[in-house]
Amino acid sequence: MNDSAVGASPKEAAKQALPRLADVAAHAGVSAKTVSRVVNNEANVRPQVRAQVLRSVAALGYRPNAAARALVTQRTHQIGLIATASSLYGPTAGLFSLEQAAWKAGYGLTLTTVREASEAQLEEAIHYLMVRGVEGVIVSGVAGALHLEASALTDMPLVTTSPITTESAKYVLVDSDQVAGTRTAVRHLYDSGHRRIAHLAGPLSWDSAAQRRDGWLQEVEDLGLNPGPLLEGDWSPKSGYEAALTLDRAAATAIVVANDHMAMGAIRAFTEQGMRIPNDISVIGFDDVPEAAYQMVPLTTVRQNFSSVAERSVRELIHLIEGREAEDTSIHLPTELIVRASTAPYFGSLA
C-alpha cells in the first residue's frame, strides 16, 4: 500500500495519500456529515466542534475531492474556455484576465482550443467541456459568424466574442466595439485633412476583421468620401508588409490598419519604398500592443481594453449560469484612439 517504488501506476500516484472526508472524521472523532458541514460552512455546528474539525482538516491537509463533489451536487464551478489556437496578440491578451476574473467569482477555467472556427469543431469542443461538467462556456477569438444548434448546447450558458446565431436563450456577445473603433480612426484622419483613406483589413472571414472594415467604410461614406483601396492581410506583420507593397501610392494619404502588427509591416514596406511616416502617409493601427508606443515611429492606434472584455465576459456568463436574464445580449465595450506619431495632418497636394 505504502510503496513509493518507481513505476507505480498513474492511478495510485495520482491519488496517493490524499486524505478523505472519512479520515478527517475519524481524526476529529465526529461523523463524516459533520465534517462536510464544517467544510461547507453550514450552520448548526457548535463552535467547539467546528474548531476541532478545522484543526483536523489542517492537520491532515484535507481538501474535498472535486470529482466526488461534482457528482453529487451537479456543480463544478468550472467555466470552459474555447480559444482558437494561435499566438495572435488579441486572443491571448485577455486570457489571463479571464482566468483571474473567473477565479475571483469562484470559478476555475478549463481550456480547450479549436484549430479552425467550424461548427463541427465548436460543437466538439463544447461537448468536450460539457462532459467535464463546465457550467458555462466562453468562446474567445473564434473567427466567423457561426450557427450553433441549440440541441448541441442543451441550454449551456454561452458568451462569445464574435457573433453566433443560436436558438439558445442563454447567450451573450461581449466584444470591443470594433465598428466604432475604426470609425473613430477614420474620423481622426478626416479631421486632420485626409480625404483619401485606405483600409488594410484582417482576414475577412474573421468577424472582427469584417467589422473593422465596416466601420471604416461606414465612416468614409458618412463623410461623403470615396472609399480608398481595401487591402486584406492575415493579421501577421508579414502580410501587412506584403499588402502595403501593393497599395497605389496616389490612392491614399492615410491608411487604417486592422491591427498593430500588420501596421508595423506596412510601415516597414512604405519606408522601403522611400515614403516617410507620417509625412507621406499616415498609418493607424488597432489593439495598442505594448510595443506600439516604442516603435521608431510611435504608432497611432485604437486601443482595445482586453481585460475589460474578459472581465465583462465572465460577469455575463456567471449571470447566465445563475439563471438571471441577460439585460443586453450584445455588449460592445468602448475603444480609445491613442494618437502618436504615425499620423499627421494633410494639407493637400501642392502639385
Q: Does 134 bind DNA (CB under 7 A)?
A: no
Task: Report helix, strand or coil for 339.
Answer: coil
For DNA, the binding residues in 64-103 under the rule CB under 7 A are 64-65, 68-69, 71-74
Among the listed residues 95, 223, 225, 245, the single contact to its own copies using CB under 8 A: 95
Q: Which residues contact 217 (CB under 8 A, 6 or more apart)?
A: 199, 227
| Of residues 151 and 165, the one with the C-beta less far from its own copies | 151
Angle value at C-alpha 126, between 125 and 132, nearest 5 degrees: 95
Q: How far is the CB of 57 from DNA (least distance, A)?
A: 10
Give the C-alpha separation, 233 to 222, whole Å: 25
Q: How far is CA 247 from CA 90, 180, 213, 228, in A?
A: 26, 25, 16, 10
Min dist CB 154 to DNA, Å, is 13
131-190 positions binding its own copies, by CB under 8 A: 131-133, 135, 154-155, 157, 169-170
Q: Smallest distance, Å, CB 101 to DNA?
A: 24
Sequence-distant (≥ 6) Cβ neighbours of residue 348 within 8 angstroms: 193
- The CA R_g of the chain, rounded to the nearest whole Å, is 27
Residue 311 contact, options DNA, its own copies, none, Cβ 5-8 Å cut-off depending on partner type: none
Residue 222 or 276 with smaller CB distance to its own copies: 276
Q: Which does 17 bind (CB under 5 to 8 A by kind): its own copies, DNA, none?
A: its own copies
Q: Which does 249 bind (CB under 5 to 8 A by kind): DNA, its own copies, none?
A: none
SS3 (DSSP) at 124: helix
Contacts of 96 by beta carbon, 8 Å cutoff, 6+ apart: none
By a kind-dependent CB cut-off of 5 to 8 A, residue 58 interacts, out of DNA, its own copies, none, with none
93 binds its own copies (CB under 8 A): yes
Return d(Cα 114, Cα 124) in angstroms, integer.
9
Residues that contact its own copies, how many (by CB under 8 A): 81
What is the residue type of 157? P
Which residues inside 48-67 make contact with DNA, applying CB under 7 A? 48-50, 62, 64-65
Residue 296 touches which member of its own copies, DNA, none, C-beta under 5-8 Å by kind: its own copies
End-to-end CA distance of the chain: 90
Site for its own copies in 209-238 (CB under 8 A): 236-238
Q: Dihedral sign, CA of 85, 89, 94, 100?
A: positive
State in angstroms the smallest separation of the CB of 224 from its own copies.
35
Q: Which residues contact 132 (CB under 8 A, 6 or more apart)?
A: 76, 78, 80, 110
Q: Name the nearest CA neighbour of 98 among 86, 121, 82, 76.
A: 82
Examine residue 44 and tell whether it contacts its own copies (CB under 8 A): no
Chosen from DNA, its own copies, none, partner binding at 37 (C-beta under 5 to 8 Å by type)? DNA
Residues 4-43: x where in contact with DNA by CB under 7 A, - otherwise, as a string: -----------x----xxx-------xxxxx-xx-xx--x
Residues that bind DNA (CB under 7 A): 15, 20-22, 30-34, 36-37, 39-40, 43-46, 48-50, 62, 64-65, 68-69, 71-74
